[in-house]
Structure formats: structure tokens, C-alpha cells
Amino acid sequence: MTELSKSGAAVGEPVADSAAPSAFLEVRDLKVHFPTDDGLVKSVDGLNFSLEKGKTLGIVGESGSGKSVTSLGILGLHTAGQYGSRRAQISGEIWLNGQELLSADPVAVRKLRGREMAMIFQDPLSALHPYYSIGKQITEAYRVHNDVDKKTARKRAVEMLDRVGIPQPDKRVDSYPHEFSGGMRQRAMIAMALVNNPELLIADEPTTALDVTVQAQILDLIRDLQKEFGSAVIMITHDLGVVAEMADELLVMYGGRCVERGPAEKVFYEPQHPYTWGLLGSMPRIDREETDRLIPVKGSPPSLINLPSGCAFNPRCPYADVPKDQITRRERPELSLVADGHYSACHMSQGERTRIWTEEIAPKL
């Protein structure tokens, strides 16, 4: 924050009824809409969550549920460098360390990017510039926020590469991305993201492009580094298994909205939304009988231009007719409290959901 006060940049004054939150990161009613020829794509439509330092939030959902759009929104990457009429429309509030980012000066937000909040992307091969050496790309990230000479920055890059487990870092620092293996590239990407000790680290499907043996190593690495640096981590994934043991909190997204949120073990072991059940059923487990088949969630993700009326999940939900009067097709369910910190957006009563989970779903998993 020293940088900001020095430059005197105006950072979002709290609006009348929205005081600065006490949480490290708080997202309030975040909406990210993209105008297209076919209509307004509501990629994220009213998302709320908060996160404390040192904690991990897992955001889970299928493709197009708004996970990545949310993370890019926090970093302010929907508007950076975008011109013309096709800009994303973003509203709501994003509070990081007591500052509101959406109403802040873009220059101030840019100075936070890479320093206070950093991101690890899905496919490290396409996310690294093919023409610059790994070292060059890491030092660039370091020098943009720290007034140091090239030698110091290079030392820092070598140190970071060493920290993320790249052998012979003083030599590999001059290698190009194409000379690295997939796992090493992701390690380098992590080194780049962490070079400025960011307090918020967003990992957007960090293991999707990697092979299975490397996935666990990368997850371990992120976990170790989180402990060491005490950062808040948002782990975005479509794979519940990835976040099950890492996340403190889980947020399940469907059609741009949160359908279930709560402490990880609650959401994992006592899920209260049919979509979460579907995600759990479609996840392979080592302790499952060989003859059992995975149960996919029927149907395909909804159109974000025309969401189904009522509950967005109703066309795919096997229990859509459990609540009376077709309410699932008429009214959108709001998030309601299930238990301490555990919320779910479903028209079924808590009793009905608990019964279905314990009697019908859980035994099959």
C-alpha cells in the first residue's frame, strides 16, 4: 500500500452504505457481463464471498460457470487494455485489504497487480511468452514493482526458481519456456507469480494442463508456499478432488452464480445442493468399487444469455419436482443458511435435502 499512498492515487472511497469490510478479500454482488451480438452474456451475476489471509478458497464449477471470469475480474483484467464498445461491464464491489478495486483508479489497480495479487494460469506453455527467457519474464515481474537493478532482480529470479524446485536454477534461469517440461513451466509460472510475495494468489486450474504425476507435486508446492508466505489463495478448478484437501472454504458456481458455499468439509461431506451432488458423483474415487460407473450431471451447461427461469439448474436437476407448485421453474432460489457458515440455494427444504443426500446419494458414492 506504500506505493499507493506515495502516488496519491485515489482508491475507491467507500460508498455510503458499504463500509470497508474486516475481511482481507471481500467480493460483494460482483457482476461481470459481456455485450455480444447475440445478447448480454452474464458470466458472473451477483457473487459474494470473503477470504482471510492464510486461508484457501476453492471455487468449483463446470466450464462456463464463471470461475475464471471471477478471478480475472478481481485482478481487473477484463478492463485492462480493452477498448471500444465490447468492454466487459463490471459492477459490485471488490475489497482487497480495505480498498475497493472496481471504483479505484486503473493505474492504482495495475500497481497492485502482480504485487499484492498475482495469478497462476491454466496452461503454462501459452501463458509464458515464447520469445523471452524464463529469467527475463520473472525479473520483469519483479522490476516493475521494485526499483532494483538487473543483477539484483536476476538473483531474486534464481532464488525463486530454486524455491519452487527447479534444478540448477542459475543455469535454467536463461532457458526459454519451450526448453522446459510442462511441470517445470508451471513451477516457473508459480515462481513468477510469487516473486513479489503477493498477499492474494489466484490459481486458475493450475494443474489441468499437467500430467497426473506432476499435478500432486504442483498442489503440494502451492500449499507449502502458502504456509511460508501466509497468502490468501483462491483455487479455481472443476475437479473437487483438487480442492478437497487444500481448501478451507468451498464455493460451488453454476451459471454465473453461487449455488453452495461453506466450510470445505461441510460442502464435501454434507453437500446441500443437487449440483454439488452431481459434481461429487462424477468424480472418480480410489475407494470406489471397480464395477461402479461415474454418474455424470445430465445435460449441458446453461446459456449465459438466457438462463432457465427459476432455478438455473432446474432442467438438469433430478429433484426439480420435489418442491411443490413448480416453484423451481418460476422463482430463483436465494442462498440460505444451512448451518454455521454453510449456505445453499435450493428450493427443497433442508430436511428433504439431508434425507436425499444420506439415503439416495451418499451410499452410491
Partner 1 sequence: MLAYLIRRLIAVIIMVLVVLLATFTVFFMLPKWAGQDIAVLFAGKATGAEQIEGIRTKLGLSDPLLVQFWDFIKGIPMGRDYANGSDVTHCPAPCFGYSFRTEAPVWETLKEALPVTGALAAGACVLWLAGGVATGVVSALRRGTIWDRAAMTTALGGVSLPVFFTGMIAMGVFVHNLGWVKIADSLSTDDSIDVWFQTLILPWIVLAFLNAAMYARLTRATMLEVLGEDYIRTARAKGLTEGVVIRKHALRSAMTPILTVFGLDLGVLMGGAVLTESTFNLPGLGLEAVRAISSKDLPVILGVTLCAALAIAVANLVVDLMYAVIDPRVRLG
- Nearest distance, CB of residue 140 and partner 1, angstroms: 7
Q: In what order do the strands lie in the sheet with 200-204?
A: 117-120, 200-204, 232-237, 56-60, 249-254, 257-263, 342-344, 336-339
- Helices 150-163/182-194 angle, 10° precision: 130
Binder among 32, 90, 102, 118 for partner 1 (CB under 8 A) = 118
Binder among 126, 168, 306, 309 for partner 1 (CB under 8 A) = 126
Nearer to partner 1 among residue 119 and residue 307 (C-beta): 119
CA dihedral 35, 41, 44, 45 (to 10 degrees): 90
**Distance from C-alpha of 68 to C-alpha of 2, rounded to nearest angstrom:** 29
Q: Is 352 in the site for partner 1 (CB under 8 A)?
A: no
Nearer to partner 1 among residue 44 and residue 361 (C-beta): 44
SS3 343: strand
Q: Is 141 in the site for partner 1 (CB under 8 A)?
A: yes
Residues numbered 147-186 forming contacts with partner 1, rule: CB under 8 A: 176, 178
Please name the amino acid found at residue 290: E
Choose the stretch contacting partner 1; rule: CB under 8 A; options: 10-18, 117-125, 226-234, 240-248.
Answer: 117-125
Nearer to partner 1 among residue 128 and residue 240 (C-beta): 128
Residues numbered 72-111 forming contacts with partner 1, rule: CB under 8 A: 72, 75, 77, 80-81, 83-86, 110-111
**Distance from C-alpha of 32 to C-alpha of 145, rounded to nearest angstrom:** 28
Q: Is 114 in the site for partner 1 (CB under 8 A)?
A: yes
- Residue 347 burial class via C-beta count within 10 angstroms: exposed 0-12, middle 13-18, buried 19 and up: buried
Residues numbered 53-72 forming contacts with partner 1, rule: CB under 8 A: 72
Q: Are 70 and 30 in contact (CB under 8 A)?
A: yes
Binder among 9, 20, 144, 148 for partner 1 (CB under 8 A) = 144
Nearer to partner 1 among residue 143 and residue 273 (C-beta): 143
**Distance from C-alpha of 278 to C-alpha of 256, rounded to nearest angstrom:** 17
Q: In what order do the strands lie in the sheet with 39-51?
A: 39-51, 25-36, 89-96, 99-100
Q: Is 129 in the site for partner 1 (CB under 8 A)?
A: yes
- Nearest distance, CB of residue 124 and partner 1, angstroms: 9
Q: Is 12 in the site for partner 1 (CB under 8 A)?
A: no
- Nearest distance, CB of residue 122 and partner 1, angstroms: 8
Nearer to partner 1 among residue 129 and residue 330 (C-beta): 129
**Distance from C-alpha of 25 to C-alpha of 53, rounded to nearest angstrom:** 8
- DSSP states of 247-315 as a string? -SEEEEEETTEEEEEEEHHHHHHS--SHHHHHHHHTS--TTS-TTPPP-PPSS-PPPSSSPPSSSTTGG
What x/- string results for residues 192 through 211 when contact with partner 1 is judged by CB under 8 A?
Answer: x-------------------
Binder among 24, 49, 95, 121 for partner 1 (CB under 8 A) = 121
Nearer to partner 1 among residue 119 and residue 264 (C-beta): 119
DSSP state of 316: G
**Distance from C-alpha of 68 to C-alpha of 220, rounded to nearest angstrom:** 22
Residues numbered 14-53 forming contacts with partner 1, rule: CB under 8 A: none
Q: Is 222 in the site for partner 1 (CB under 8 A)?
A: no
- Nearest distance, CB of residue 178 and partner 1, angstroms: 5
- Chain residues that interact with partner 1, rule: CB under 8 A: 72, 75, 77, 80-81, 83-86, 110-115, 118-119, 121, 123, 126-131, 133, 140-141, 144-145, 176, 178, 192
